[in-house]
Structure 1
Amino acid sequence: MRKIALVPVAVLTLGLALAGCSSTPAALPSSPDKMASSSSMPSSSPMSSDMQKTGTFMGLNGKNVKGTVTISGSDLKLTGFSSDEGPDLHVYLTTGTDEAAVSAGKEISTVVFNQDTQSFMLSGVDASMYTDVVIHCDKAKAVFGAAPLS
C-alpha cells in the first residue's frame, strides 16, 4: 500500500518542478546584447575561425522552441529565436538532448525566451566537440528544445 500512496506525491512533485519553468521569471538579463564568456573549460584545439556549424531548433518535451543557431569561430548566435517562457533558461553545448547530456555539456549563458537575436562568446570552448545546442530550464531540470549541429 505504501508504494501506491507515494505515486501521487511523486507526480505532484514532478508537476510542480515543471510548472516552475512556466511561471514568470523573477529576473531576466536586462541587457538584450548580453555577451557571455566561458573560459572555465580550456581547449587544446579551439574551433578555427573559418569553421562554421548551424542548426535549427525544435521543441522537446511538449515545449516550443524555434529559430536557428550559428557557431562561427568563437561566436554562438541565435536568430529568429523564441521559446516557451521559463524562469531559468540557459543555452548549452551538448552531445545529446537528455538530462545526462546537459549535465555533461557546457553551459554557455542564460537565454532570453523572447529575444529574436542573441549572441554569446565561446572563449576557450572547442565547439567541434559538441553535436547539439540545447535550451534548458535549470530550475526544473527540463530540456525545452535543441538544435542538432551540422
Structure 2
Amino acid sequence: MKIKTLLLSGTIATSLLLGACNNMDDKKDSMKEETKSESKMENKDMDNAKVMKEGMFKGENKEKVEGKAMIKDGKLMLKDFSSSKGPDLHVYLTKDGDIKKGKKIDMVDYAKSEQSFDLKGVNVKDYNTVTIYCDKAHVTFGSAMLK
C-alpha cells in the first residue's frame, strides 16, 4: 500500500514539475513576441522621427479651420491654428480624410493657436491628411493635406 502511494505521489509531482516547465517555455515565447512588437514600435518611432510633412488647413462643411499642420520629430504640431467652436473636437491622422480608417490622436482646443501631440506608436507613413473632426456631431470641420 505504501509503495502505491509513493509511486502515485511521485507521478503527480513529476507531472506538475513538467507542466511548470512547459509553462515557462510559453512565457519565454510570449516574452520574445512582446520584445519583437516593442522593437517594431521603436522602429516606427524612429521612422516617425525622420518623417517631415506639412500642410495648410481648409474648412469643410461650413466650418472654419485655419493654420498649419506639421509632422516633425515624432510629433504632430498645429501652428497658427483656429477653428469653429465644437463640443467634442479631435485631431485625426487619416488617409484622404477617411475618419473611419483614421487614427484618433487627441482632443484639440479650437482656441489655442499652438498645439503639439506625440505620435509614439503611430506609423505616420500610412496617413496623408490631418483632420479636425467633431466626434459628437460626426462632422469634419477641416483638413490639411500633408506633403
**TM value normalised by structure 2:** 0.68
Cα distance between partner residues in 2 of 1:118 and 1:96: 22
Letter in 2 for 1:79: K
Cα distance between partner residues in 2 of 1:138 and 1:48: 26
Matched, 1:107 2:79: no
Q: CA deviation at 1:139?
A: 0.1
Q: CA deviation at 1:124?
A: 0.5
Cα distance between partner residues in 2 of 1:65 and 1:49: 26
Q: CA deviation at 1:96?
A: 1.7
Moved over 6 A (4+): none
Q: Deviations over 1:80-132 (max 9, x none)?
A: 000000010000000022xxx10110000000001000000001001111010
Backbone CA RMSD of aligned residues = 1.4
Larger Rg: 1 or 2? Answer: 2
Name the residue aligned to 1:54: 54
Name the residue aligned to 1:146: 143
Name the residue aligned to 2:91: 91
Letter in 2 for 1:88: D
Matches within 5 A, 1:4-15: none
Cα distance between partner residues in 1 of 2:131 and 2:52: 17
Unmatched segments (≥5 aa) in structure 1:
1-41
Unmatched segments (≥5 aa) in structure 2:
1-39
Matched, 1:123 2:116: no
Name the residue aligned to 1:133: 130
**TM value normalised by structure 1:** 0.67
Letter in 1 for 2:143: A
Name the residue aligned to 1:71: 71
